[in-house]
């Protein structure tokens, strides 16, 4: 069974059942669990019937679930799902959003937990798509989907071959690109944020690559008052997107 057809963990499966129940084919659950959380999930799955579709409920041993997820932390629940098809054409996304476009560009995110959390933040603040390079990026994996808690099925994740060229394309379309960089010349709160725009953030530790920085219209830093030198990628993403939405009418 292909790994990309599986979801595991209560949050990810519950979200899929609520957002797209017809895509959930089977739900395996640990046969040694009898708690209320599992009963609630099974009840939800039992309610998701429409047009003859019914989620097949399958008790399984913990060893069986471990084998399905290759030892991942599944919390005793694994679902076989039909992958949700989101927009994969950035031009179509940009055309549909028009002058209200808000993108999140991730340069070199290789941690599935960070990408999953960034997708959740992107969903919360109305980002139209998350864009990342094909190379040096984690991509959408079952682990990412689990951390995203459903956001991987609502926010398009689009890979581009050449990130610098993509940023040039945004400039040609008059889309403001703001890079979050510790050495940025302006504090976040003094940057002129407006739509259409794209926030560009780099990987933890290495930050934005040189070519990526050079293709941003402005580089902004998040003012820090404490002793830590940097923030987690998803935390930085949340701060930047929240400030952007706060400024909008």
Which one of 64, 81, 98 terminates a domain? 81
pLDDT of residue 1: 40
Which residue shows structure tokens 């957002």?
19
Count of structural domains within the chain: 2
3-state secondary structure 21-88: HHHEEEEEEECCCCCHHHHHHHHHHHHCCECCECCEEEEECHHHHHHHHCCCCCCCEEEEECCCCCCC
In this structure, the answer to whether residues 128 and 228 fall within a common structural domain is: yes
CATH at residue 34: 3.30.1330.30
In this structure, the answer to whether residues 74 and 104 fall within a common structural domain is: no
Q: Using CA atoms, how far apart are residues 221 and 156, in angstroms rounded to an integer?
A: 27
pLDDT tens digits for range 100-126 = 999 999 998 989 999 999 999 999 999
Which one of 32, 53, 81 terminates a domain? 81
Q: Using CA atoms, how far apart are residues 127 and 132, in angstroms rounded to an integer?
A: 14
Which one of 81, 111, 131 terminates a domain? 81
In this structure, the answer to whether residues 14 and 113 fall within a common structural domain is: no
In this structure, the answer to whether residues 217 and 130 fall within a common structural domain is: yes
Regions of the chain where pLDDT drops below 70: 1-4, 48-52, 85
In this structure, the answer to whether residues 127 and 51 fall within a common structural domain is: no
In this structure, the answer to whether residues 8 and 97 fall within a common structural domain is: no
Q: Which domain holds residue 235?
A: 90-247
pLDDT of residue 49: 59
- pTM for the complete prediction? 0.76
Q: Is 233 exposed, middle or buried (0-12, 13-18, 19+ CB in 10 A)?
A: buried
Q: To 10 degrees, what angle do helices 10-19 and 36-47 make?
A: 20
pLDDT of residue 3: 41
In this structure, the answer to whether residues 51 and 169 fall within a common structural domain is: no
In this structure, the answer to whether residues 75 and 19 fall within a common structural domain is: yes
């Amino acid at each position: 069974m292909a790994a990309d057809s599986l979801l595991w963990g209560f949050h990810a499966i519950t979200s899929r059942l609520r957002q797209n129940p017809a895509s959930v084919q089977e739900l395996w659950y640990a046969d040694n669990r009898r708690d209320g959380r599992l009963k609630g999930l099974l009840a939800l799955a039992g309610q998701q019937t429409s047009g003859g579709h019914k989620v097949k409920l399958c008790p399984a041993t913990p060893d069986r679930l471990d084998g399905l997820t290759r030892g991942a932390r599944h919390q005793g629940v694994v679902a076989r799902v039909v992958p949700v098809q989101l927009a994969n054409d950035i031009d179509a996304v940009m055309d549909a959003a028009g002058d209200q476009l808000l993108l999140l560009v991730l340069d070199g995110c290789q941690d599935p937990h960070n990408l999953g959390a960034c997708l959740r933040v992107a969903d919360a603040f109305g980002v139209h798509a998350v864009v990342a390079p094909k190379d040096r990026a984690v991509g959408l994996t079952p682990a990412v989907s689990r951390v995203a808690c459903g956001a991987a099925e609502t926010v398009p994740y689009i890979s581009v071959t050449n990130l610098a060229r993509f940023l040039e394309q945004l400039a040609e379309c008059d889309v403001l690109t703001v890079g979050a960089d510790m050495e940025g010349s302006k504090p976040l709160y003094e940057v002129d944020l407006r739509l259409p725009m794209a926030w560009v953030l780099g990987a933890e530790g290495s930050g934005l690559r040189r070519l990526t920085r050079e293709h941003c219209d402005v580089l902004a830093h998040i003012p820090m008052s404490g002793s830590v030198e940097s923030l987690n990628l998803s935390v930085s993403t949340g701060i930047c997107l929240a400030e952007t939405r706060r400024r909008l009418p």
